[in-house]
Amino acid sequence: MGDNIVTESFSETHRAAATPIVIVGHVDHGKSTLIGRLLYDTDSLQDGKLAQIVESSRKRGLAVEWSFLLDSLQIERDQGVTVDSTRIPFRLGSREFVIVDAPGHRQFLRNMITGAADAEAAVLVVDAKEGAQEQTRRHAMLLRLIGIRHVIVLLNKSDILGFDEAQIVKVESDVRQLLGRLEIEVEAVVPASARDGDNIASRSERSLWYKGPTLVEALANVPPPASRAALPFRMPVQDVYRFDGIRYVAGRIERGTVRAGDRLSIGAQGQVATVAEVCRWHAPELPVAGAGESIALRLEPDLVPDRGDLLFPADDQAAAPERSARIRTRLFWLRGEPLRVGESFTLRLATAEHDVTVASIDAVVDLEDLTLREGDSVPPDGFAEITLAASHAVLFDPFSPGFGDGRGVLVDRYQRIVGGAPLIGPAELADGEHAIHPTASRVSAARQVQTRGHKSGVFWLTGLPGSGKSTVARAAELALSEQAINATVLDGDTLRAGLCSDLGFSPEDRHENIRRAAHVAKILAESGQVVIVALVSPLQADRAQARQIVGENFHEVFVDTPLETCEKRDPKGLYAAARAGKIPEFTGISAPYEAPVSPELRLPADRPEQEAINTLTAFILRIVQP
C-alpha cells in the first residue's frame, strides 16, 4: 500500500530549494561590488533596484556604485561598512541561488556567522594585490568551523596586477596553502575583477592563460547537498503536545528515516517505544518520514519524553550516538571578554540543553598563521579547542560539515549566545585525573535580580594592614542592609580563622588565601549576593588572578591609607610587633605592598572615615541597583 503512495510522479514537479552561497573576505576586498556585479551580469535585478542604485549614486555625486545595491540601510552608508548580512536571490539557468553577504568588519563576526551558517558554498574574496589578510584568515577559519563544504576563491582586483600570470599564481599558491592548513577543499581559484566583470559571468580577454572556470561556472558546479536519508535515524524531541486526547511527540528529523513500527530509544535513560503513527496535518498520509521533515510521532507505549531527548534506533549498537559526560569540541568564541577554564554555560545541542563547565582549554588558534598553540584563555572572536564537562552523559554525534550533527552552542547566564561549539568527540581522561563535573545554577541572572531586588557583584578592598578595610566593609554592609541589599563581608582575619586556618603568611600561602577568597566570592556572587572582600592582597598579580576567577563582576577598591597613618593607628598592635621583628614578612614593613594602578574606586585617607563608608556604599548601590 505504502509503496504506491511514494512512487507518485514527484520528480516532474520537483523544485530544488535555492542553494545558499555566502560571500566572505577582508574589508574592502570587494564583496559588495562582486554581488552587485553578479546580479547585473546574471540579469537578476528587479526593475526598481537598478533605478535605486542609479538614484543613490547620483544623489551622492558618484558613478554607478554596485555596492549601493546592498547598502540599503542609511546607517551603513554613513559608516561606509555593511552592518549585517543580507540575502539576495539570483538564478543561473534553471538553478536558484541565494547570496548571503557577510560583512568584513571585524566586530561584526556574529553577523557574519548568522549569514554564513546555512550556506552550502562560500566565495572567499581576496584582493589579488594584498593577498590573505587578518579577516581572510578569520573568515576561512570560520568557514571550516561552521561546516561549509565548498569554497571558491575569487582573486579580485586582478586588473591591478594586469592579470599577470606569474604574480597571480603566487597569490593563488599562498591562499591554497592557507586553506589547505584548515583542511578546506578549494573548488576553484578565479582571477577576476568584479568592478569590470572579468571572469565573473564571462571569460576575460585579459587572462587568456587562465583555463579554470569563471565564477559563475564554479557556482554552477557546486553539487547539491548530500543526502541525509541513509544515515541512522535521529530526531531530537522539540516538544510534546496533547490535542484531541492524542499525545504527539513533535520534532524535526535531523537525519535518517522513520517508519511506523520502528523501535526507538528515547534519550539517555534507555526507554524504548515503537512508532505507532507518523502524524502530519493536511498532508498526504505516509507511514514514513525522512531527514528535514518536521513531524509528530505517536508512540506505543504512550511515553512522555522530555524536550531535548534524542530519538534513535533501538536494538542497534552501531546506529547509536556517542555518549559521554566529557566532550572535546572546537570553539568559535563570540563574547566580548575572554573565555577561561572553569566557566559554566548551557550547551544547546539541537533542542537539548546541558549544564557544562569548561574543563580545559586544550589549544588556541594563532590567527597569524592558523596554528594551534597552548593557551589559558580564548580571546574575543578567537578560535580554540576545549574540553567541556557536563553534569550527566550527553548523547551526540560528532560535527560533520554539511550535516546537522554536533552543532553545539554555548549560552551564558544572561541567555546570550557566546560561542559555537562543533563537537569533536568524547574526551579521554588523562591517567590519575579525577573527572569532575560541576553543575551550574538553573536560576537565570535576571530571575535572581527579580527575587533579590538587586544585582550581584564582588567589591575587592585592598590596602595596607590597619588601613580600615574591614571597618569600612562592615559599615557598608550595614548601610546596604538598610536599603534591603544583602551583602556578605569576607575579611582576612575571619577567613584565616576557619577556611584558611591552614595557611601562613608566606607569598605562596598569601596567594592561596586570595585564591580561596576569590572562589568563595565568585560562588556567592553567582547566587546573586553582593560580596565585599577586605583583604590586604598586596600583590598586583594575586589581585589580577582574583579578577580572573571572579570575572566581569569584579570591582577593585583601593583603601588608600598611607603607611604612617596605619602605623600610627595600629589597632591590633601589629606594626609595633613587626618593627620589633616579632612578625616576619609584614606587609608595609618587611614585605612589599603594590598599590593598584587604576582601581575602580579609591578611598582616600585624608577624609573622615564616615565619608569613605558613604562613598563605598554609594559606589556599590550604583552598580547593584537594577
Partner 1 sequence: MTQTRILSRDQFTTGLAQPRIMDDLDQLEAQSIFILREAYRKLKPLSLLWSLGKDSNVMVWLARKAFMGHVPFPVMHVDTEKKFPEMYAFRDEYTKKWNLDLLLGYCPPVEEIDPSLPPAARSAARKTAGLAAMIDKHKFRGVIAGIRRDEQATRAKERVFSPRGAGHRWDVRNQPPEFWDQYATPYEDGMHIRVHPLLAWREIDIWRYIEREGIPLVDLYFAKDGKRYRSLGDQDITNPIESNASTVAEVIAELETSRTSERAGRAMDHESEDVFERLRVAGYL
Q: Catalytic residues, which ones?
A: 537
Site for partner 1, residues 449 to 468, rule: CB under 8 A: 450
Minimum gap (Å) between residue 36 Cβ and partner 1: 13
Site for partner 1, residues 238 to 297, rule: CB under 8 A: 238-239, 241, 243-244, 246, 248, 250, 252, 256-257, 259-263, 279-284, 286-294, 296
Whole-angstrom Cα distance, residue 175 to residue 186?
Answer: 10
Minimum gap (Å) between residue 270 Cβ and partner 1: 18
- Using DSSP's 3-state secondary structure scheme, residue 543 falls into helix
Q: What are the DSSP calls for 390-414, one per residue?
A: EEEEEEE----TTS-TTEEEEE-TT
State which of residues 9, 12, 15, 301 lies at the interface with partner 1 (CB under 8 A). 15
Q: Which one, of 473, 485, 453, 471, lies nearest residue 601 by Cα?
A: 473
Whether residue 486 contacts residue 532, with contact meaning beta carbons closer than 8 Å, is answered with no
State which of residues 5, 372, 435, 497 lies at the interface with partner 1 (CB under 8 A). 5
Count the residues of the shown chain that bind partner 1, applying the rule CB under 8 A. Answer: 93
Q: Per the annotation, does 463 bind a ligand?
A: yes
Count how many Cα atoms sit within 13 Å of the Cα of residue 131 in the half-sphere of its side chain.
Answer: 13
81 or 605: CB nearest partner 1 = 81
Site for partner 1, residues 119 to 178, rule: CB under 8 A: 146
CA–chain centroid gap for 578, Å, is 51
Site for partner 1, residues 398 to 417, rule: CB under 8 A: 404, 407, 409, 411, 414-417
Q: Which stretch binds partner 1 (CB under 8 A): 42-50, 192-200, 209-217, 592-600?
A: 42-50
Site for partner 1, residues 348 to 377, rule: CB under 8 A: 348, 350
Q: Which stretch binds partner 1 (CB under 8 A): 115-123, 376-384, 485-493, 558-566?
A: 115-123
Whether residue 490 contacts residue 536, with contact meaning beta carbons closer than 8 Å, is answered with no
Q: Which one, of 95, 114, 86, 116, lies nearest residue 18 by Cα?
A: 95
Q: Per the annotation, does 469 bind a ligand?
A: yes
Whether residue 449 contacts residue 530, with contact meaning beta carbons closer than 8 Å, is answered with no
Our finding on whether 12 is near partner 1 (CB under 8 A) is no
Identify the H or E element spanning 491.
strand 487-491
Name the region of 95 (left: φ>0; alpha: ψ -120 to 50; beta: rest).
beta
Minimum gap (Å) between residue 169 Cβ and partner 1: 36
297 or 480: CB nearest partner 1 = 297
261 or 504: CB nearest partner 1 = 261
18 or 169: CB nearest partner 1 = 18
x/- letters, 535..564, toward partner 1 (CB under 8 A):
------------------------------
356 or 578: CB nearest partner 1 = 356
Q: What are phi and psi of 529, to 5 degrees?
A: -80, 150
Minimum gap (Å) between residue 144 Cβ and partner 1: 14
Minimum gap (Å) between residue 285 Cβ and partner 1: 11
Q: Which one, of 467, 419, 457, lies nearest residue 596 by Cα?
A: 467
118 or 433: CB nearest partner 1 = 118
Which set of grid coordinates corresponds to residue 128? 589579488
Which set of grid coordinates corresponds to residue 3? 509503496
296 or 490: CB nearest partner 1 = 296
Handedness of CA 43, 44, 50, 53 (dihedral sign): negative
Q: What are the DSSP calls for 551-572, one per residue?
A: -TTEEEEEEE--HHHHHHH-TT
CA angle 428–324–307, rounded 5-degree value: 155
Q: Which one, of 5, 78, 65, lies nearest residue 32 by Cα?
A: 65
Site for partner 1, residues 50 to 109, rule: CB under 8 A: 56, 72-75, 83-89
Q: Per the annotation, does 465 bind a ligand?
A: yes
State which of residues 212, 232, 321, 401 lies at the interface with partner 1 (CB under 8 A). 232
Q: Per the annotation, does 67 bind a ligand?
A: no
Identify the H or E element spanning 604.
strand 601-604
295 or 490: CB nearest partner 1 = 295
Minimum gap (Å) between residue 470 Cβ and partner 1: 36
Q: Per the annotation, does 464 bind a ligand?
A: yes
Helix, strand, coil % in the chain, rounded to nearest 5: 30, 30, 40
CA–chain centroid gap for 368, Å, is 21
State which of residues 315, 337, 433, 552 lies at the interface with partner 1 (CB under 8 A). 315
Pick out the residues of the known binding site for ATP.
463-470
Pick out the residues of the known binding site.
463-470
